[in-house]
């Protein structure tokens, strides 16, 4: 090696996200967490790394070392894990910290963690002084394939999940598949619900990679991560602020999924497990309402099983689920609108499902 040779070039796949006037890169590659500073390329500015206790215990040190090596002054704020952290109270503590650091608009907030940290730190970055630079460094599978791409940031308020939020695109997203090695199994399954959703919506190579990927769920092929990020980026690119209706397709499996999540008090089923059941319901309804052929529906159901998602609905009352379906935040004027499939890779949005069929599909989820 020549003495003046700099560090080896960063080996990573790059996916460009174009959201309105903003453009940013999602870099995917093993070992990237340690090279975040280099990727940020903002010497002589400061960074606040926001993380949770679990993630920080594994990955904070390497991230801080990389930032310092790149000449960035860095501080960390480590929060308790869990949804309760996504609150206005914790948000205020984050503002305090940024204020005390004297952070300004050229400085960077690094969100190192799952969806909770990405949403919270993202919202703080979006609003502090009308916007600091945001770098998303997702460490859960769910956040890598879904939450970290697309610019939705929020905290919960009273009963409302993501009630205070906005759209704020990051400057950069860094995805290091090595971080998935320590992810608890339940979180792996949660990520797979969204991966299966993307696969069924996208069809083609994305679906093929998804079907191949279930053999090793905890260590997804980087090509699968890339395909999922590309799919999400394409949808977001056509509807950056959820106004054109294109983004609505991402609600596939979520109308029934959310109802199940709420009916189970957010304890019986995780988001991913509930969405897995919601996807089963959506496939069943697609066969009856939008002409999905039985073979394709069966393919989807088998994929959900192979992904380790629940086979049937247990431990919640059917009547509660049926009642909650119409109450979905995205239901237009009381009528539940569903995303269904005409075929794999061809979603139909805004499908009205008659109430009796809504009850029938819940009964099927319990009895299957």
Residues in contact with ligand ADP by the rule CB under 6 A? 52, 54-55, 58, 81, 113-117, 139-140, 142-143, 147, 179, 182-184, 187, 190
CA 62 to chain CA mean position, Å: 24
- Do 316 and 252 form a contact (C-beta atoms < 8 A)? no
User: Cβ of residue 181: shortest distance to ligand ADP, in angstroms?
Assistant: 8
Q: Please say if 106 is a catalytic residue.
A: no
- Measured CA to CA, the distance from residue 236 to residue 21 in angstroms comes to 12
Q: Which of 27, 198, 254, 280 is catalytic?
A: 254
Q: Please say if 251 is a catalytic residue.
A: yes
One-character DSSP codes across 263-317: HTTTTSS-HHHHHHHHHHHHHHHHHHHS---HHHHHHHHHHHHHTT--SS--SS-
- Collapsing DSSP states into helix, strand and coil, what is residue 33? helix
User: Cβ of residue 325: shortest distance to ligand ADP, in angstroms?
Assistant: 23
Q: Which of 27, 133, 152, 189 is catalytic?
A: 152
User: Cβ of residue 55: shortest distance to ligand ADP, in angstroms?
Assistant: 5
User: Cβ of residue 364: shortest distance to ligand ADP, in angstroms?
Assistant: 27
Of the pair 114, 122, the CB lying nearest ligand ADP is at 114
Of the pair 136, 290, the CB lying nearest ligand ADP is at 136
Would you give the end-to-end CA distance of the chain in angstroms?
63
Of the pair 143, 172, the CB lying nearest ligand ADP is at 143
User: Cβ of residue 60: shortest distance to ligand ADP, in angstroms?
Assistant: 11
User: Which neighbouring-strand residues pair with 338?
Assistant: 351
Instruction: Tell me the backbone φ, ψ of residue 222, rounded to 5 degrees.
Output: -55, -25
- Measured CA to CA, the distance from residue 228 to residue 80 in angstroms comes to 29
Of the pair 45, 162, the CB lying nearest ligand ADP is at 162
User: Cβ of residue 13: shortest distance to ligand ADP, in angstroms?
Assistant: 19
* Angle, helices 115-127/88-100, rounded to nearest 10 degrees: 60
Q: Please say if 86 is a catalytic residue.
A: no
User: Cβ of residue 11: shortest distance to ligand ADP, in angstroms?
Assistant: 20
Q: Hey, what long-range contacts does 76-79 have (CB within 8 A, 24 or more apart)? A: 76/48, 76/49, 76/50, 76/51, 77/48, 77/49, 77/50, 77/51, 78/51, 78/52, 78/53, 79/50, 79/51, 79/52, 79/53, 79/117, 79/120
Q: Which of 194, 226, 261, 273 is catalytic?
A: 194
Of the pair 143, 324, the CB lying nearest ligand ADP is at 143
Of the pair 49, 55, the CB lying nearest ligand ADP is at 55
SS3 content of the chain, % helix, strand, coil (to 5): 50, 20, 30
Of the pair 153, 296, the CB lying nearest ligand ADP is at 153
Q: Can you give the length of the chain in residues?
A: 368
Q: Please say if 130 is a catalytic residue.
A: yes
Q: Which of 251, 261, 273, 280 is catalytic?
A: 251
Q: Please say if 258 is a catalytic residue.
A: yes
Residues annotated as catalytic are: 130, 152, 194, 232, 242, 247, 251, 254, 258, 271
């Amino acid at each position: 090696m020549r003495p003046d040779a700099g560090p080896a070039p960063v080996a990573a796949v790059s996916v460009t996200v174009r959201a309105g006037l903003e453009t940013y890169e999602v870099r995917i590659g093993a070992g990237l967490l340690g090279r975040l500073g280099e990727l940020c390329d903002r010497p002589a500015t400061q960074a606040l790394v926001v993380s949770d206790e679990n993630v920080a215990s594994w990955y904070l040190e390497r991230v801080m070392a990389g930032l310092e090596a790149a000449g960035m002054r860095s501080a960390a704020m480590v929060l308790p894990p869990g949804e309760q952290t996504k609150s206005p109270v914790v948000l205020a503590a984050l503002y305090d910290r940024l204020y005390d650091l004297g952070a300004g608009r050229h400085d960077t907030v690094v969100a190192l963690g799952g969806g909770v940290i990405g949403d919270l730190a993202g919202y703080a970055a979006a609003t502090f002084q009308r916007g600091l630079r945001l770098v998303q460094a997702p460490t859960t599978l769910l956040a890598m394939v879904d939450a970290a791409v697309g610019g939705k940031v929020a905290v919960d308020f009273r009963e409302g999940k993501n009630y205070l939020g906005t759209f704020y695109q990051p400057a950069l997203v860094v995805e290091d598949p090595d971080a998935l090695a320590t992810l608890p199994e339940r979180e792996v399954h949660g990520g797979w619900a969204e991966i299966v959703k993307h696969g069924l919506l996208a069809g083609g190579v994305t679906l093929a990679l998804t079907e191949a990927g279930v053999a090793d769920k905890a260590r997804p092929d980087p090509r699968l991560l890339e395909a999922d990020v590309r799919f999400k980026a394409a949808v977001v690119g056509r509807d950056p602020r959820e106004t054109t209706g294109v983004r609505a397709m991402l609600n596939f499996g979520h109308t029934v999924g959310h109802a199940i999540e709420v009916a189970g008090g957010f304890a019986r089923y995780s988001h991913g497990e509930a969405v897995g059941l919601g996807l089963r319901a959506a496939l069943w309804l697609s066969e009856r309402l939008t002409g999905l052929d039985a073979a394709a529906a069966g393919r989807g159901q088998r994929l959900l099983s192979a992904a380790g998602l629940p086979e049937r609905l247990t431990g919640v009352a059917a009547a509660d689920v049926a009642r909650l379906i119409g109450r979905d935040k995205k239901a237009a004027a009381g009528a539940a609108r569903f995303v269904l499939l005409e075929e794999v890779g061809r979603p139909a949005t805004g499908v009205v499902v008659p109430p009796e069929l809504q009850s029938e599909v819940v009964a099927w989820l319990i009895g299957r």
